[in-house]
Structure 1
Amino acid sequence: MNENYIAIDWGSTHLRAWRYHSGQCVDSLQLPYGVSRLAEKTACEVFEQYIAPWREQEVIPVVMAGMIGSDAGWQPVPYLPCPVSLLELSDQIYEVAEKVWIVPGLRTGQNVMRGEETQLLGAMLLSPAACYVMPGTHSKWVSIAGDRVSDFATAMTGELHHILMNHSLIGKGLPAQQDDVAAFAAGLQSGLESPALINKLFAARASRVLGSLPAESVSEWLSGLLIGAEVATLQDNTTQVTLVGGGSLCRRYLQAFATAGIQASEIAGDTAFQQGIRSILDARY
């Protein structure tokens, strides 16, 4: 077991890193240098500027996961085809510099993921389940059999909410948005009852124009509608799930699952990610 190492979650918009010494996190950083925001820098140059100083005294192992392994990142790392055992990740990590590795993503015939596979490994070890839901910009619904990912689906729920609120008539001219429990619940019920969104999205504008939805609550109603539609579409007779993600977003999904009559538990995404990185390193050393 190697207790001195660096774990990096390097996504599209941000780079987050943690330095461990004797198994304890002693330093961390978050930078706006996701692979889509590198500007004139390369990923290697960002690494040398911000991460390499942590290794001046000792060339400790570094394990990175996320979009850093895509064709927009440091080095394209092939996806592992599903079904696949998550315990095989440690054998497939790709070395891009001395003791610096990237974790491969996973793929099916029509779907891909990067970064979530590391969270899944940690979640599987900490809280075994048959179905994991990972809410976010691109939510993942993952089916697990033993230690194997058998299949997964993706819903662009978070990205769709952002686009509609910022680049469509729905969000045009709105005041600052506020938390509204009732608006979220109303949207959620609408999405759960009828997940076909093509004729429902405009209601986010029409309801506001007609006065039945406060202008400050459009975001909440739309969030409920989209999450409800996601759950209704992807639940596929699921009766129990484990959520892996951030607290505020998971709370919305917990409400959605409770409304849909599905039992749900929760594990923090960062906790799962760190466990995944540790288990990959433990298998290597």
Structure 2
Amino acid sequence: MERYIAVDWGSTHLRAWLIESGTCIDTLNVPCGVTQMTAGEAPELFARHIGPWRKEALLPVLMAGMIGSEAGWRLAGYLPCPVSLHRVGEQLCEVAEQVWIVPGLKWAQDGEYNVMRGEETQLLGAMQLAPSHCYVMPGTHSKWISVEGGGQVTRFDTAMTGELHHLLMNHSLIGKGLPSQQPDETAFVQGLERGLNMPSLVNQLFATRAAWVLGVLEKTAVSDALSGLLIGAEVAMLTRQYQPQQITLVASEVLSPRYRQAFARLDIAVNECGAQEAFLQGIGRIIDARR
């Protein structure tokens, strides 16, 4: 399709790209995510921010992310795993003329439950950019995904690493009363080593507070120390479960180096592609399949 609009509408932001002949010619990033919306507000926000790009042409728009959740525009549903990822383009949810939302994925087996929304589109793109049997997508809710031949998603897990970091730094004794945080690579590495070696966080979390209370850890470095601890624990626990020889890391420029360090310490080979690049590639694949 020559001209279309790709939208990643998440919890905090609406991000959009105007694509023409495979090239992005304009972008949009506004802080009006699903958590900031009132009930029924999505169509009005869409018209305000995306409408000017469409004008009278009614350009096709493909959206993914929390906009397809219960709190979004309309529930776009979840495809049950195991599932071929290519099916997401066959079950789009149309919310307006030439406007669709990509469905999410769900895992519900043997008393285990999980959902993803938005990452399935990144995964579709990452499969083409950096093929693997195991994908890791760091973030507020990190996803670990197992993929077999033909794009079959066999299972996935979620680690609330980013959200835990935010909650502990802003709403717990670990972060209470601290000064502005500064980058500290040494503190991050020390936290990472603790997380990798002792991934049970029940006692290690409070030890982080004790370290700065006793003056062993700089008060300005607590954020990086906690980040290392949480990332190390995530990687240690989920590599035991997935047993990957190699992974594809789909991450931002901020998180990618931190996860690469963790995998290097476990001698796990890493391929990599950017999160935005993977998302746009995934949207493009779905759009092309509709031609």
TM-score relative to the length of structure 1? 0.98
Alignment of 1:232-243 (within 5 A): 232-236=236-240, 237-243=243-249
Question: 1:22: how far off?
Answer: 2.6
Quick one: which amino acid aligns to residue 43 of structure 2? C
Gaps of 5+ in 1: none
Paired residues, what number?
284
The match for 1:127 is: 130
Task: Render the CA deviation track for 1:37-90: whole Å, top value 9, x for unaligned.
Answer: 114761111001111111114111100000000010000111000011111111
The match for 1:230 is: 234
Quick one: which amino acid aligns to residue 176 of structure 2? K
1:97 and 2:100 equivalent? no
1:281 and 2:284 equivalent? no
Task: Render the CA deviation track for 1:247-279: whole Å, top value 9, x for unaligned.
Answer: 110110001111122111210000000000000
Q: Distance in 2 between matches of 1:64 and 1:74?
A: 11
Which of 251, 258, 261 does residue 245 from structure 1 map onto? 251
**Which secondary structure state, in structure 1, belongs to the residue aligned with residue 44 of structure 2?**
helix
Which of 138, 147, 153 does residue 149 from structure 1 map onto? 153
Q: Distance in 2 between matches of 1:152 and 1:61?
A: 30
Q: Which runs of 4+ in 1 moved over 3 A?
A: none
Quick one: which amino acid aligns to residue 3 of structure 1? E
Task: Render the CA deviation track for 1:10-44: whole Å, top value 9, x for unaligned.
Answer: 00110000111232211111111101111476111
TM-score relative to the length of structure 2? 0.96
Q: Distance in 2 between matches of 1:24 and 1:262?
A: 34
Q: Distance in 2 between matches of 1:82 and 1:280?
A: 19
The match for 1:136 is: 139
**Which secondary structure state, in structure 2, belongs to the residue aligned with residue 233 of structure 1?**
helix
Question: 1:178: how far off?
Answer: 0.9
The match for 2:270 is: 264
1:168 and 2:167 equivalent? no
Gaps of 5+ in 2: none
Quick one: which amino acid aligns to residue 166 of structure 2? H
Q: Quote the sequence identity (%).
A: 60
Q: Distance in 2 between matches of 1:77 and 1:48?
A: 20
Q: Is the 8 A contact 2:130 2:271 kept in 1?
A: no
Q: Distance in 2 between matches of 1:238 and 1:24?
A: 34
Q: Distance in 2 between matches of 1:139 and 1:131?
A: 13
Superposed CA RMSD: 1.0
Quick one: which amino acid aligns to residue 47 of structure 1? F
The match for 1:209 is: 213
Task: Render the CA deviation track for 1:132-189: whole Å, top value 9, x for unaligned.
Answer: 0000000000000021110000000000000000000000111111111111010000
The match for 1:5 is: 4
Question: 1:245: how far off?
Answer: 1.5
Q: Distance in 1 between matches of 2:19 and 2:269?
A: 35
Q: Distance in 2 between matches of 1:20 and 1:238?
A: 35
The match for 2:24 is: 25
